[in-house]
Chains A and B, each alone.
Chain A
Amino acid sequence: MSIISVKNVSYIYNEGLEDEVTALTDLSFEVEEGEFIALIGSNGSGKSTLARLLNGLFLPSDGKITVNGIPTVDKKRKFDVRSTVGVVFQNPDNQMVATIIEDDLAFGPENLGLPSEEINRRVDWALDCVGMNGYRKKTPTRLSGGQKQRIAIAGVLALMPKVLVLDEATAMLDPRGKKEVMDTIERIREKEGMAVIMITHFPEEAARADRIIALHRGHKVIDEHPRTALTDVDRLRAYGLDAPLPARVAHTLKTRGVNLDGNILSADELAEALCRL
């Protein structure tokens, strides 16, 4: 069974007012357990709106979203929805609620009304997942951006979600921080089998996913494997998106008359294809 089901969902900001804006139109897709999806699209395509719909922060203007079988509009089961789908946002500074890291991580589980031993166990586990065991009693303010974002991820993990949604969680980080966070996500996915929906502007990050969903002006325009989704350079450009560099170079070489086979996505594949010539 799929863990999230999105059916014919539309979302309109300021509905009925003069400045009403349609952010999403008739969107449908399913997310399977353990799946790794990269959600791409240029600014204003509706990605962040979708992230907020997936755990019921926003409710659809039309259509239906169910999480683990629970409709997100079911107010009585809001906590079940939010502890199943955890969202990590772009700016780590906006996601800290406490002055000591363990308190910050305990905040979610406390709100679920869990017993304190269980909370303790989850805080340990979450810190372990993001590789920051030594920081339990420290304060978040003196951490680097990458470390803060890992703590923000740990805060969501402490709810033991089945789906982790990352809304450009690496955008504000330096290359080292980006790498820390990406490696952390991949480790958690492998170890815990969580589904990950990653919103990103970086084609190289998206290429790591099993499936690419692209939005354009609120419509789903691509829902494919990265192999086809990220190698169709012209189509991506039409939506204001970019392909990973090896795919771009292969594309340019092909249009300039070089006979390369297949849909080239990685540096390795590009080297192979060139060496075969």
Chain B
Amino acid sequence: MSVIIKNLSYVYSPRSPYETRALDGISLEINDGDFFGIIGHTGSGKSTLINHLNALARVQKKYNENATLEVCGIDLTAKKPNLKLLREKVGMVFQYPEYQLFADTVKADVGYGAKNLGLDKEEIEIRVRDAIAKVGLNYDEVAERSPFELSGGQKRRVAIAGVIVMRPELLILDEPTAGLDPRGKKEILDLVHSLKQTCPTIVMVSHNMDEVADCCNRVAVLGGGKVTGIYAPQELFAHRELINSLGLELPTVTELAQYLAQRGLPVSPSVIREEELVEALLKR
């Protein structure tokens, strides 16, 4: 089991007029090998939750007397958990990760995390080459270039390479395709799929239901700091009312499929892929 969360709560600005309970008794488990989606509208607690997974947000004693938070075998409710080890095991790709690029060359930027692990030079070199190849860039072309002169999609790849260079057991992606054009989106999605081979357990936060439908095998829905349910994508998106009540949207494909079904065409309302929809319409 990669992540075990039981009864986790978190309060921002406690004892002030702005006190907000961002997490309110969250329980969920993420299995090894899951591609686990977390959805919910803005303010539902998604970011607070994933920030707990690599201890950017620490378990608040006061509100968590009976809570469990175990990530990659490390107990984060302990008094002094091994955070260094945790951050080696959990790789976090933030929203707009390209804003975090800083080094003069792609090679130095990607290698930064590996260097901080205390690896020797040869090992760093091997890992940097490997990480750059895994995000689909050509090492010889980009290694010595400044990350800032690359395109938006390429910058994001470099930023992701800087995380997978640490070879994390658990990879967390926060809105990995936000702000990219359709081609950049597709490239990053293909990359995300291929990362599954390198890093078997992935957690992804997304507002884009098309991507959730495309990638995830299980999806947790958050609302008001609570888990309202955990579903397989087909099961989730067949519940139109549930999705609407959460202020979310259906994947565009499911939306169209349900519309066509309503107009009397023989299409299942739980279709989540464009090819499935086309096949169903062709059979007719």
Contact (A174, B265) CB under 8 Å given A245-B252, A256-B278, A267-B256: no
* B184 close to A (CB within 8 Å): yes
Over the window 239-260 of chain B, the binary record of Cβ atoms lying under 8 Å from chain A Cβ atoms (1 yes, 0 no) is: 0000000011100110110011
Question: Please, which residues of chain A bring their CB within 8 A of the CB of B151?
Answer: 43-44
Over the window 226-251 of chain A, the binary record of Cβ atoms lying under 8 Å from chain B Cβ atoms (1 yes, 0 no) is: 00000000000000111001101100
Contact in complex: A274, B260 (CB < 8 Å): yes
- Cα(A238)–Cα(B151), bound, Å: 18
* A92 close to B (CB within 8 Å): no
- Interfacial residues of chain B within 175-195, with CB under 8 A of chain A in the complex: 178-184
* B43 close to A (CB within 8 Å): yes
Question: Please, which residues of chain B bring their CB within 8 A of the CB of A274?
Answer: 260, 263, 265, 281, 284
Contact in complex: B281, A42 (CB < 8 Å): no
- Cα(A204)–Cα(B252), bound, Å: 10
- Cα(A94)–Cα(B214), bound, Å: 33
Contact in complex: B178, A271 (CB < 8 Å): no
Over the window 267-278 of chain B, the binary record of Cβ atoms lying under 8 Å from chain A Cβ atoms (1 yes, 0 no) is: 000000010011
- Interfacial residues of chain B within 206-249, with CB under 8 A of chain A in the complex: 207, 247-249
- Cα(A248)–Cα(B179), bound, Å: 22
Question: Please, which residues of chain A bring their CB within 8 A of the CB of B256?
Answer: 245-246, 249, 267, 270
- Cα(A256)–Cα(B51), bound, Å: 47
Question: Please, which residues of chain B bring their CB within 8 A of the CB of A172?
Answer: 178-179
Question: Please, which residues of chain B bring their CB within 8 A of the CB of A240?
Answer: 181-183
* A1 close to B (CB within 8 Å): no
* B153 close to A (CB within 8 Å): yes
Contact in complex: A275, B278 (CB < 8 Å): no
Contact in complex: B182, A242 (CB < 8 Å): yes
- Cα(A248)–Cα(B265), bound, Å: 18
Contact in complex: A249, B264 (CB < 8 Å): no
Q: Chain A interface mostly helix, strand, loop or mixed?
A: helix
* B167 close to A (CB within 8 Å): no
Residues of A in contact with B, size category: 35 or more
Contact in complex: B249, A175 (CB < 8 Å): yes
Contact in complex: A249, B274 (CB < 8 Å): yes
* B31 close to A (CB within 8 Å): no
- Cα(A204)–Cα(B41), bound, Å: 21
Contact in complex: A267, B179 (CB < 8 Å): no
Number of interface residues of B (CB under 8 A): 33
Question: Please, which residues of chain B bring their CB within 8 A of the CB of A174?
Answer: 41-42, 207
Closest A residue to B249 by beta carbon equals: A175
* A259 close to B (CB within 8 Å): no
Closest A residue to B149 by beta carbon equals: A19
A134 to chain B, nearest CB (A): 18
* A252 close to B (CB within 8 Å): yes
Contact in complex: B252, A253 (CB < 8 Å): no
* A258 close to B (CB within 8 Å): yes
B269 to chain A, nearest CB (A): 14
B172 to chain A, nearest CB (A): 19
- Cα(A162)–Cα(B249), bound, Å: 33
Contact in complex: A201, B42 (CB < 8 Å): no
- Cα(A176)–Cα(B281), bound, Å: 30
Contact in complex: B183, A275 (CB < 8 Å): no
* B81 close to A (CB within 8 Å): no
Question: Please, which residues of chain A bring their CB within 8 A of the CB of B41?
Answer: 174-176
Question: Please, which residues of chain A bring their CB within 8 A of the CB of B178?
Answer: 171-172
* A145 close to B (CB within 8 Å): yes
- Interfacial residues of chain A within 15-29, with CB under 8 A of chain B in the complex: none
* A120 close to B (CB within 8 Å): no
Question: Please, which residues of chain A bring their CB within 8 A of the CB of B183?
Answer: 42-43, 240-241
Question: Please, which residues of chain B bring their CB within 8 A of the CB of A252?
Answer: 274, 278
Residue picked from A90, A145, A171, A245, most chain B C-beta under 10 Å: A245
- Interfacial residues of chain B within 149-187, with CB under 8 A of chain A in the complex: 151-153, 178-184
Question: Please, which residues of chain B bring their CB within 8 A of the CB of A144?
Answer: 42-43
Contact in complex: B260, A171 (CB < 8 Å): no
B180 to chain A, nearest CB (A): 7
Contact (A267, B274) CB under 8 Å given A175-B248, A201-B181, A201-B182: no
- Cα(A234)–Cα(B278), bound, Å: 17
Question: Please, which residues of chain A bring their CB within 8 A of the CB of B153?
Answer: 43
Question: Please, which residues of chain B bring their CB within 8 A of the CB of A242?
Answer: 182
Closest B residue to A171 by beta carbon equals: B179
Question: Please, which residues of chain A bring their CB within 8 A of the CB of B265?
Answer: 271, 274-275
* A109 close to B (CB within 8 Å): no
* A155 close to B (CB within 8 Å): no
Contact (A267, B253) CB under 8 Å given A42-B181, A256-B282: no
- Cα(A277)–Cα(B283), bound, Å: 13
